[in-house]
Amino acid sequence: MGKPKTERSLGEDEARAVSGFIRTSQRKLNLVAASIRGKAADKALAQLTFEKRRVSNDVKKVLEAAIANAENNHQLDVDRLFVKEAFVGKTLVMKRFRPRARGRVGKIQKPFSNITVVVKEREETE
């Protein structure tokens, strides 16, 4: 007995990596994710390496994990991979406050995000 096997949600030529609880807002993370969508995997890695934003290191780790999953788990050719999807989701928000004048408070919200990167192997062009 056990749980029945679920069908794979991705195609045979796709691999995915997910990272959760990245300490940044969804809008900031989505700017970096949008910059790599549709690009070849090696070009996306090069762009993330020289990106100025702090969160680009986290996105780079997720992309490297997706490439490693494609190579080791699904036997895909690394040279033909491209970023099919890179999307961002909302996780939790830590709520803090700062005392202000006359007994009031200033709300501080510290959001967390998660990111999913899907890489796909390009078809042979002849």
- Other beta carbons within 10 angstroms of residue 22's beta carbon come to 21
Written out in words, the top-level CATH class of the domain with range 14-121 is alpha beta
Contacts of 82 (CB under 8 A, 6+ apart): 38, 39, 40, 41, 119, 120, 122
For 22-36, write each residue's pLDDT tens digit: 999 999 999 999 999
- Within the chain, strands assigned E span 14-22, 81-99, 105-121
Domain ranges of the chain: 14-121
Q: Please report the pLDDT score of residue 126 as a whole number.
A: 60
For residue 104, name the pLDDT band (cuts at 50, 70, 90): very high
Own/partner contacts of 95-100, CB < 8 Å, gap of 24 or more, are none
Q: What residue spans of the chain are helical by DSSP H?
A: 26-36, 41-49, 56-72
Full-model pTM: 0.91
